[in-house]
Amino acid sequence: MLIAVRAKVESVDHWKEKFKTHGDLFKRQGVSIAHMGAADDQTVIAVFETNNADEFVRIFNDPATAEAMAEDKITGGVEIFLLDEAFNVSA
């Protein structure tokens, strides 16, 4: 299952640096890999590959995640998307 999280941040560079320190938190969420990107200098997205969407969301709503987001200097606009469908354009 893929889960995308979009947010506003103070600095993309700071967010990328701090994001990479949350490996233990991501492992508890069943994450095997996290893809990171930015739309502009204050909008970021992370796409997580997880084997347990329910646990991911439960931990995402936990105070430990809020603390991690504060360290990442996330300023708001947080949105979560469950990517539960795929369209194979080459089929």
Domains within the chain, CATH numbers bracketed: 2-83 (3.30.70.100)
The mean per-residue pLDDT over the stretch 64-77 comes to 94
pLDDT cut 70: percent of the chain above it: 100
pTM of the model: 0.92
The mean per-residue pLDDT over the stretch 74-90 comes to 95
**Terminal CA-CA length for the chain:** 21
Res 91 pLDDT > 90? no
Give the whole-angstrom CA distance, residue 30 versus residue 4. Answer: 14
